[in-house]
Structure 1
């Protein structure tokens, strides 16, 4: 029989000892008497490299420390040769069933090669470099699937299954059944780790666990903590033996346990309040702390009783034996009344090891008489009582370890030789300390306080769903039959529900033919959601086949295709390169991006900045710039025509021309599909889109538009909040309806947002919140940008209840409100550049995230080549894409390469997921290290097929184009995006990051932009928050912060000013990953 401890950690995990190296782990395994130890932390690349260097395979599929690394002496017998098995722990924090789930999993692998394979898979999912126990926003079921796909013979064991914060059955974030966690893959779970706060009899009380092997491990964070709990195996250490024991129970001989009361979470309580109570007492108090009025930390005993279907004391027939032991230093301390960490106890410990053997041999096998000869009668008696279970226990609670007592002071005094190790003065002092502790405990006994109120009313989440009855104003908007109806819908007032409900009213109540209905949305995502909702309605699928739903660009593309004029759209990279050539050819001063923006405004019929300058000035420079622009524009358009492509503005103009030129029956047939036209986000349309609306609905029956002038944020693209006024001029009998009841944000968030936007013309807005007041808006000031980003990352960790048990212990509960999942949280900022520092801090904390929005890497040559290649495969008739796929930049034999790759990818381009296609393509092109292609693959994670992915890149708005932080499955993650990208979205918790002068409102070249539009943009950001809004700033706060009503704000400062040299040193250290 041998002893194994499989769940440990290396020095690469948070809060671990620097001595957690292979050498010291092996040394302490010998001192403890452990024959098999887990490596821990297999996901960390530096740790795997160290294991490769210092371990060597043995003859039974395990590993042993190379002889040159063994540490001799130090009380450890040289004859024992512990083996290593590759293991690691994964922390999964994700949302399932509208609850945040936090589960730790122990993975046991057959070798380092398997560890490399699995680590490479996991690296695509999240950051596995910053912590030996990585945090993945990944469903446990998906993690199990990945493990089985990569290494079918590996073992998956849910870790410390009862720990309140991070476990399968945890009181705060676990499940009630194993099947609820692992679903269809539950049969692959064969064993469970009991954890320090439970023992086998506690687990035997749940009949559903009868079929699982119970194993125990120390979860040691330092070598000296090895063996606190362990598993007993029969035979000799081997991979096959370990696998069969854990998976089948063959050769599993039992466990060595902590006394469960010693665990940190055995009883209920509050550490900060000094309260430790039994489950029965907790129930009397309604699980509310009688001291502070907050929720108690529910312990393992309480949770076991909740799920148990057998009485306490039940003995499972055939249950494996177990031993409850205490680490030898604690036994010495409990027997003598001294500190386990004290010098004298440590000296006695080393003396016992040198004279009698390993720690487990002393605790389990060495005769008590022999122990007495070496350590004296106190320690001998303590071990005798330990073996007999004669132990007095004080339960641990809320992150504080429990304690055991083997001998009272009177008993110690009565035993011969008690002064050989400890003086009477020492014993007297210990007694005084004990009495002082008891007195403090009595002083803390509190009267039951009135339980605090439940969290302040949160935002009414369900109210905005389409099946909730509309309010009076919504109902009026849904049912009006005027020729033209304009609905001004403030944020969170149910705009989407009203639009969808009107569409359903047309179909179901007024029996309008769906082929006569068109709904225009601002984003593809909005169109998709509308279609999904319609599918669920009776007859919805049939109606969808006839009606049109989509963005202006998607609808124009469809209309042109129906007329045999399928458009080929120029991608961003093409446009930028064409602009570069135009700049070189005509010598105009503007950059490529500015040139393209001016072209867009020009096509929309709007004045460009340079035109305005020319009107105000007769200077030759301004006139010359105008001439250069016109020439460059004409050349730009000629080049696109010769290449057979058009840009997005051309697409709208082509759609408008199609309707303008149509005559007779053809025109009537096309316009019939727009008899009932519904337009979302009306405030963001430009003049060409307005003209499209008028052309489409020229002879129509009804026009319904909905939007909010206060959320008009695309002036740089030609949108104008004055479009409502223009519609009134075109339709003098326009019916106007205003929605005022906000169902999204709590009262204080809405109050703050309204106070801000009311500084724009139009007076005080009439919005009011359906929900209660909620939390105040937090304005957090940091000394610099880096401190601001660090605060944001740390605060996200706190909001999810801590990203590890250390955080959970230290936080002692959430500030206010309930625990968040990563996907409940968004960090919004004014410019993409602000995300770089944020990403570095989030990676360091191990927090998974996605980045939304178009980024510069999409224009890189290798990225464009990949996209052209797959577009050409999917659509061989796209001559533009085919030409660029056959002749990529810098390649002489592009056509040959294309032909070879097309053979390989032609059959699977429609069947495989885009991320796999892109990864394989990069490997074939020897571009695995290309950062742009890696980012492209991060985006592809979120799409089921290549066609959908490419369509999103073509027609997706900023908020829809997302880059993952490297996850293959698409689980929980924090969202990072610009204010613009957040339009139309909502999150329980929102950070508005970097709210400082120069950024909000944005200043370019030292000049402030359109302040009213910038204020609207900030207003949009604020109103994305449902329950919690945190505004962060540094140094020079934005003037907008002073416009927020002080009654709904609380201010705080974080961090401290650093010297310049210190800041540099810290930044170099902090961002090493």
Structure 2
């Protein structure tokens, strides 16, 4: 592209180029900030106009961005400034693990909206990789916070999650014909459309659900006996799982549900690449881990009692709420990767997982290519107009093991006087917390009035 532009502008060399080397975050798409440096060599009379006034962010946010990006080499030095005031301190919260991290973000969004009379669309959560949104989506749904995943699929909309959710729905509600039709041949059981049509006709005649009539004695009279045997076998298998699920080893039953039908093998066989297949498999086990956490929370709250059926019903309700939210695009919290956020702006921004090996990414550290990761940090910071919060999970589960994390080196590069450190190991400001609580109560009263 650069060479083409060069040829098109010769011999006069009259053209205008607009760019920002500090926001060059797409090297893997061919973006080269070095092109800006090449301009002065190819056009010696180049006139540089610096657009340094920022019309988006507060002074404190811009100061943090300027300080971080100053650690990168520059062909054209610049320093953003704003006349929007200095603004609130940047918050950095260190939480116990990824569960606590997402809990803090979801709760903070909920309370800030209440305290300040904001809209959901005023908030955005940015992260390095799409996988980071999975647990956060669960937390937002548990607080009935509407959200939209930009530049990627939401967790419940993924095909493999829909499949597993339909199995769980059928476990708690055998009358769910829609769930039955989705999973009766997933993985493939050689039960074709003709068999299902005959089954539907028979179920209508018996005034029962499709699943209930799968083991009817007379079914072999209205369809091929082999097809009837397959339906009967499927129902017997799932009936056994239902009994096991609602016993003492309910979580183990869900795990065995997946392994018994070799669902992992099915996902790998139907994936467009081994990498996609592995991601799909990770998603289904993420759902299982969510069920495990919900069961543990239930035990803590109800003193030892846990009920898989109520957990599945709650997940089904969350799934339904998400479908309703997808139809209403007016007022939702925005979830997106840092790459997808480029060019956008939000009043209140949260950056998740600001840790070594996330931001900067492990690959960039190994390849000693930190400069583009620093530009990604710069882009994330400058998406915020009014407030910016960053989070770190002190431990994370990776590859089946729980590991300790380290805060991103980019946090150390920020002006420390402009950061409020929160979370584990930080002494609480009780006066400030009381002030926040009073503000919440005042806003609740205003809403009721």
TM bucket by the smaller chain?
Answer: 0.5 to 0.7
2:67 matched to which residue of 1? 755
Q: 1:991 to 1:833 in 2, by over 3 A?
A: same
Cα distance, 1:697 vs structure 2: 4.4
SS at match of 1:996: coil
Say whether residues 1:832 and 2:202 are aligned partners: no
Q: Which runs of 5+ in 1 are unaligned?
A: 1-688, 802-813, 864-889, 894-930, 933-962, 1057-1073
Match of residue 715 from structure 1: 27
Other-structure match for 1:967: 326
**Preserved CA contact (<8 Å) 1:994 1:1032:** yes
Aligned to 1:994: 353
Q: Which residue of 2 aligns with 1:777?
A: 90
**What are the within-5 Å matches in structure 2 for residues 154-169 of structure 1?**
none
2: distance between equivalents of 1:975 and 1:965?
16
Q: What is the aligned counterpart of 1:741 among 53, 62, 68? A: 53
The answer on whether the counterparts of 2:95 and 2:101 sit within 8 Å (CA) in structure 1 is yes
Q: Decide which of 1042, 1050, 1054 is 2:412's aligned counterpart.
A: 1042
**1:426-441 alignment runs, 5 A limit:** none
Q: What SS does structure 2 have at the residue aligned with 1:1013? A: helix
**Paired residue for 1:983, among 336, 342, 349?**
342
8 Å contact 1:782–1:1055 — kept in the other structure?
no
Q: Which has the higher helix share?
A: 2
Shift of 1:998: 1.1
- More deviation, 978-987/733-742: 733-742
- In 1, Cα distance between equivalents of 2:341 and 2:87: 22
Answer yes or no: is 1:821 the counterpart of 2:119: yes
When residues 699 and 850 of structure 1 are mapped into structure 2, their CA distance, relative to the original with a 3 A threshold, is: farther
Residues 132-168 of structure 1: CA distance to partner in whole angstroms, max 9, x if unpaired?
Answer: xxxxxxxxxxxxxxxxxxxxxxxxxxxxxxxxxxxxx
- Write the distance in 2 (CA, Å) between the matches of 1:796 and 1:1039: 26
Shift of 1:693: 2.9
Q: Secondary structure at the match of 2:126?
A: strand
Aligned partners of 2:128 and 2:101: how far apart in 1?
Answer: 15
1:372-521 pair list within 5 angstroms: none
Alignment-derived partner of residue 200 in structure 2: none
CA offsets 1:535-558 (integer angstroms, 9 cap, x no match)? xxxxxxxxxxxxxxxxxxxxxxxx
CA contact (8 A) 1:850 1:965 kept: no
Does structure 2 conserve the Cα–Cα contact (< 8 Å) formed by 1:789 and 1:838?
yes
Q: Does the 8 Å CA contact 1:778/1:1050 hold for their aligned counterparts?
A: yes
Give the gaps of 5 or more residues in structure 2: 163-187, 193-266, 271-321, 395-405, 427-449
User: Aligned-pair distance for 1:820?
Assistant: 2.0
Query: Runs of 4+ in structure 1 displaced over 6 angstroms?
Result: 856-861
Q: Within 2, Cα distance between the matches of 1:794 and 1:859?
A: 25
Distance 2:111 2:51 in 1: 36
Deviation at 1:701, TM superposition (A): 7.6
CA contact (8 A) 1:829 1:992 kept: yes
Secondary structure of the equivalent of 2:412? Answer: helix
Query: Does the Cα contact within 8 Å between 1:747 and 1:769 map onto a contact in 2?
Result: yes
The residue aligned with 1:412 is none
Shift of 1:969: 3.1
Change (3 A) 1:796 1:700: farther
Partner of 1:1021: 380
Bigger-Rg structure (1/2): 1
SS in 1 for 2:18: strand
SS in 2 for 1:995: coil
Query: What CA distance in whole angstroms lies between the structure 1 residues aligned with 2:151 and 2:414?
Result: 28
Deviation by residue 1:212-249 (Cα, 9 ceiling, x = unmatched): xxxxxxxxxxxxxxxxxxxxxxxxxxxxxxxxxxxxxx
Aligned CA distance change for structure 1 residues 981 and 725 (closer, same or farther; 3 Å): same
Question: Shift of residue 1047 of structure 1?
Answer: 1.8
Is the CA contact (8 Å cut-off) linking 2:152 and 2:336 kept in structure 1? no
Distance 1:850 1:798, change over 3 A: same
CA distance in 2, matches of 1:738, 1:771: 19
Residue correspondences, number: 259
Pair 1:787–1:695, CA change in 2 (3 A): same
Distance 1:758 1:784 in 2: 31
The C-alpha deviation readout for 1:767-797, integer Å capped at 9, x for no partner, is 2222111101111111111100010000110
Q: Structure 1 residues 1041, 1005: CA separation in 2 closer, same or farther (over 3 Å shift)?
A: closer
CA distance change for structure 1 residues 823 and 696 in 2, over 3 Å: closer, same or farther?
A: farther
Equivalent residue, structure 1, for 2:139 = 841
**Structure 1 residues 911-939: Cα deviation after superposition (integer angstroms, max 9, x where no partner):** xxxxxxxxxxxxxxxxxxxx99xxxxxxx
Aligned pair 1:730/2:42, yes or no? yes
Is the aligned partner of 1:1012 residue 2:367? no
CA contact (8 A) 1:830 1:978 kept: yes
Distance change >3 Å, CA 1048–CA 705, structure 1 → 2: same
Preserved CA contact (<8 Å) 2:50 2:78: no
Give how far 1:760 is off: 1.3
- Measure the CA separation in 2 of the matches of 1:1004 and 1:964: 36
CA 1:742–1:1000: 2 relative to 1, 3 Å: same
Q: Whole-Å Cα distance in 2 between the matches of residues 852 and 743 of structure 1?
A: 24
Shift of 1:696: 4.8
Structure 2 counterpart SS, 1:1017 = helix
Closer/same/farther in 2, CA of residues 731 and 765 from structure 1, 3 Å limit = closer
The alignment status of 1:800 with 2:119, answered yes or no, reads no
Residues 702, 971 of structure 1: alpha-carbon distance in 2 compared, 3 angstrom cutoff: same
- Asked whether the 8 Å contact 1:710–1:1016 carries over to 2, the reply is yes
- Output aligned runs, 1:810-889, within 5 Å: 814=115, 818-854=116-152
List per-residue Cα deviations over 1:505-553 (Å, max 9, x = no partner). Answer: xxxxxxxxxxxxxxxxxxxxxxxxxxxxxxxxxxxxxxxxxxxxxxxxx
Matched residue SS, 1:720:
coil
Alpha-carbon distance between aligned partners in 1 of 2:344 and 2:134, rounded to the nearest angstrom? 22
SS of residue paired to 1:1015: helix
Report if aligned partners of 1:755, 1:764 keep a CA contact under 8 Å in 2.
Answer: no
The aligned runs of 1:104-143 (5 Å cut-off) are none
| CA 1:965–1:760: 2 relative to 1, 3 Å | farther
Distance 1:827 1:964 in 2: 20
CA contact (8 A) 1:848 1:965 kept: no
Q: Distance in 1 between matches of 2:68 and 2:3?
A: 33
CA deviations over 1:77-131 (Å, ceiling 9, x no partner) = xxxxxxxxxxxxxxxxxxxxxxxxxxxxxxxxxxxxxxxxxxxxxxxxxxxxxxx
* Aligned 1:639-650 pairs, distance under 5 A: none
Tell me the distance in 1 between the aligned counterparts of 2:425 and 2:113. Answer: 21
Aligned-residue offset at 1:766:
2.3
Say if 2:18 is the partner of 1:706.
Answer: yes
User: Match of 1:50?
Assistant: none
Cα shift readout 1:236-291 (whole Å, capped 9, x = no counterpart): xxxxxxxxxxxxxxxxxxxxxxxxxxxxxxxxxxxxxxxxxxxxxxxxxxxxxxxx
**Structure 2 SS opposite 1:736:** coil
Question: Which residue does 2:421 correspond to in 1?
Answer: 1051
Are the aligned partners of 1:1003 and 1:1009 in contact in 2 as well (CA < 8 Å)?
no
* Structure 2 CA distance for partners of 1:700 and 1:973, relative to 1, 3 Å: farther
C-alpha distance in 2, partners of 1:725/1:701?
Answer: 16
